[in-house]
Every structure is written in structure tokens, then in C-alpha cells.
């Protein structure tokens, strides 16, 4: 089921009449059968978007389509959605089985059939042998699986997940996110996954939508968005360690950082931001960048050199090099930028220039 959001806007009005534009003219097409990560910093409008798709919030403007059907004015229960929240929201007094069956009782599915369908869903999410337990007898990850089974048991057209892994510890988060990916693949259900965690979104999603201040900043396959950020916000938001951002100047198609030409661009002369990802450097004795290594972090496969850089926003950068380089603090290393690893941004608009 393809989902299309057309010019979707949500404005909240407080009692004192002050307005918050939570979502602004959002146009997104979510392809059928894909898992889409809705990603952005806290308050960027992810949950509001999800709740409008679910029908729990009414947009001020714009339309929502499931396939060809306009569902904008349809009640949540008629939309055919399964919703999973961060806090599981299971009924504590009911068993796992009763929790999963609950949505079917509401629509009067005969008990025998409901039992079979509940067991199928429990098996699918890997908790088929825990049916008689109460939620408090389960781990957080198991509880979230119950919530996913409950969301899927009605065979929804769309699965909506709002920060479903936030309450889990690091190891369980990894495990459960693999599970969600597997369940999504097996069922082929169009899924929207809200998270503020870029690594989570990138690892699980077929495509990510990056939002800021209620607006879509970029949508695409995770690696494409990482490799080709359209603007400063996207470049900065994706990547750990984060992208290194220099104050730079374009002069006759050369990009200068601290007076040294580090690459070329098609942009017009003027001041710019120059972004280079930590893995975008290469050691080269003739390289234009002369970096004094301040500290060295060993992270196993790679080594992060911590560099103090003048004329930058945060005065330390990380540069990832191969661990075999064995560079020591205090060393001066000459480097150049790998091909296609330099991003030049307009200082006013933040748009990509190169």
C-alpha cells in the first residue's frame, strides 16, 4: 500500500492563541511494501506526522492517501493501521495471548479464529511460547514484540512505529531492530518507523525522510542521503563522528580552507561552509591540509585522530584513519581530501553548492 502525503500541515494552537507549526507543507510518497524511517531532532514533527497518518490528529491542510483512497477524513479505526508506541501500552492484567487477541475481539472475530491468528502473530515475532505470561513477566524487548504482534493481528494495511526501541537497552535495541526488519520483510507491510536516532534509522530503513522544523529536508536511501546530503542540516545530522565543518572561501573555483586550496567547485566566489566527513581524508605527504594530532582514539578497526582546528565551530575534529597507521599525539600529518568527499554549502541558505 503506497502512502502519499500531500501538502500536509499541522498547526497547534495554545490557550493563549500562540501557534506552533509542527508540520509544514509536507509532501512525501512512501512506496508500497517499504520500511521508511522518519528521522529528525526532537520537536521536528515526526510524531505529529505519524499521528496524522494514523488519524489521531487532524491536519489543518493537505491530504493523506493510502493507495488511491483519500483517508484524510477517515476515522483511525477505519484506516487499517497498526500502531506501536515507545511505551508498549500493553494491558497489564491480561496475558500475552489476551493482549494480542484484543483488537480481534473488538471487531468480533470468532474466538477459534482469533486464537489461531494470535498464535500466528506471536510465532512471527518470536514469542509464541510466552502466551500465558503477563506483561510484567516479560523483558522490555519481549513486551515490544507483543505490542508489534497486537498491531499486526488485524492485518493492517500500514504499520506505524513511534520510537519503538527507545525503552530498550543497547543490546536489545540492536536485536529488536533486526527483528522489526525481518518481520517487515516477511509480512511485506508498508511501515513507517519514527526515531531521532540516525544510526537506527539508517540501519533499518529502505529509505529515510529527514525532517527539521516540520519540513522535509531530504528523502532517499540511507547511503545516498549520507553520501550526497542536499544541505547543511542533513550533512550535520547524519554521521558519527559528525562531519567536520570548516569556514571556507571560494576563489576562482578553488575551495580554500585556512588559505590552502583543498579542492575545486563550480560555485561563485564568496564565503562558504566546507564539510568533510571523518573518513573523507587521506594521508598524503603533498596534501594541502597540515593537521596536528592532539589525541588518538583507538576504536579497533579504525583509529580516530583528534585534531584541533582553527576557524571552526567546535575546535576539535575527528579524522578516521586505518589503525595500522600508528600515529602518535603531537605528530603533524599531511592530508588531502578523498574524491567526492568534500561538500561545499551556501552560508546563508545551507544548500549544497558543489
**Which residues are near ligand ATP by CB under 6 A?**
12, 20, 22, 40, 42-48, 196
CB of 158 to ligand ATP, least distance (A): 18
Q: Which CB sits closer to ligand ATP, 12 or 91?
A: 12
Q: Which CB sits closer to ligand ATP, 49 or 303?
A: 49
Among the listed residues 248, 251, 256, the one whose alpha carbon sits nearest the alpha carbon of residue 346:
248
The Cα 31–Cα 67 span in angstroms is: 10
CB of 180 to ligand ATP, least distance (A): 18
CB of 24 to ligand ATP, least distance (A): 10
The Cα 64–Cα 68 span in angstroms is: 10
Q: Which CB sits closer to ligand ATP, 45 or 239?
A: 45
CB of 121 to ligand ATP, least distance (A): 27
Beta strands in the chain (DSSP E): 3-13, 19-30, 35-39, 61-66, 69-70, 81-84, 158-162, 190-195, 207-212, 215-220, 244-251, 254-257, 260-264, 270-276, 281-283, 289-298, 302-308, 316-322, 332-337, 342-346
If 0-12 CB within 10 Å is exposed, 13-18 middle and 19+ buried, where does residue 322 land?
exposed
Task: Give the number of C-alpha atoms closer than 13 A to the C-alpha of residue 20, restricted to the C-beta side.
Answer: 11
Q: Which CB sits closer to ligand ATP, 9 or 98?
A: 9
CA triple 298-304-309, angle to 5 deg: 140
Q: Which CB sits closer to ligand ATP, 85 or 102?
A: 85
Q: Which CB sits closer to ligand ATP, 162 or 207?
A: 162
CB of 242 to ligand ATP, least distance (A): 19
CB of 45 to ligand ATP, least distance (A): 4
Amino acid at each position: 500500500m503506497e502512502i502519499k502525503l500531500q501538502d500536509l500541515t499541522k498547526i497547534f494552537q495554545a490557550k493563549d492563541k500562540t501557534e506552533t507549526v509542527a508540520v509544514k507543507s509536507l509532501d512525501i510518497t512512501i512506496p508500497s511494501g517499504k520500511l521508511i524511517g522518519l528521522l529528525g531532532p526532537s520537536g521536528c514533527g515526526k510524531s505529529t506526522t505519524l499521528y496524522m497518518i494514523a488519524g489521531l490528529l487532524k491536519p489543518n491542510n493537505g491530504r493523506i492517501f493510502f493507495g488511491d483512497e483519500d483517508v484524510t477524513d477517515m476515522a483511525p479505526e477505519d484506516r487499517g493501521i497498526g500502531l506501536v508506541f515507545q511505551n508498549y501500552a500493553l494491558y497489564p492484567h491480561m496475558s500475552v495471548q489476551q493482549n494480542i487477541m484484543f483488537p480481534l475481539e473488538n471487531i468480533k472475530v470468532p474466538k477459534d479464529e482469533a486464537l489461531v491468528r494470535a498464535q500466528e502473530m506471536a510465532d512471527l515475532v518470536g514469542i509464541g511460547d510466552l502466551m500465558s505470561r503477563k506483561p510484567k513477566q516479560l523483558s522490555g524487548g519481549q513486551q515490544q514484540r507483543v505490542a508489534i504482534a497486537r498491531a499486526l493481528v488485524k492485518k493492517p494495511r500500514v504499520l506505524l512505529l513511534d520510537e519503538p526501541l527507545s525503552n530498550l537497552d543497547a543490546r536489545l535495541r540492536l536485536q529488536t531492530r533486526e527483528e522489526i526488519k525481518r518481520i517487515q520483510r516477511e509480512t511485506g507491510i508498508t511501515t513507517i518507523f519514527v526515531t531521532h536516532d540516525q544510526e537506527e534509522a539508517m540501519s533499518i530503513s529502505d529509505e529515510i525522510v529527514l525532517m527539521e522544523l516540520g519540513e522535509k529536508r531530504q528523502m532517499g536511501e540511507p547511503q545516498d542521503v549520507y553520501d550526497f546530503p542536499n544541505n547543511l542540516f542533513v550533512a550535520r545530522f547524519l554521521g558519527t563522528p559528525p562531519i567536520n565543518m570548516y569556514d571556507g572561501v571560494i576563489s576562482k573555483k578553488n575551495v580554500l580552507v585556512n588559505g590552502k586550496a583543498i579542492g575545486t567547485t563550480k560555485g561563485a566566489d564568496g564565503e562558504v561552509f566546507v564539510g568533510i566527513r571523518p573518513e573523507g581524508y587521506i594521508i598524503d605527504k603533498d596534501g594541502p591540509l597540515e593537521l596536528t594530532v592532539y589525541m588518538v582514539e583507538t576504536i579497533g578497526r579504525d583509529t580516530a585522530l583528534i585534531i584541533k582546528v582553527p576557524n571552526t565551530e567546535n575546535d576539535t575534529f575527528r579524522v578516521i584513519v586505518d589503525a595500522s597507521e600508528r600515529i602518535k599525539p603531537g605528530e603533524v600529518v599531511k592530508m588531502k581530501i578523498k574524491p567526492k568527499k568534500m561538500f561545499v554549502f551556501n552560508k546563508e541558505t545551507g544548500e549544497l553548492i558543489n
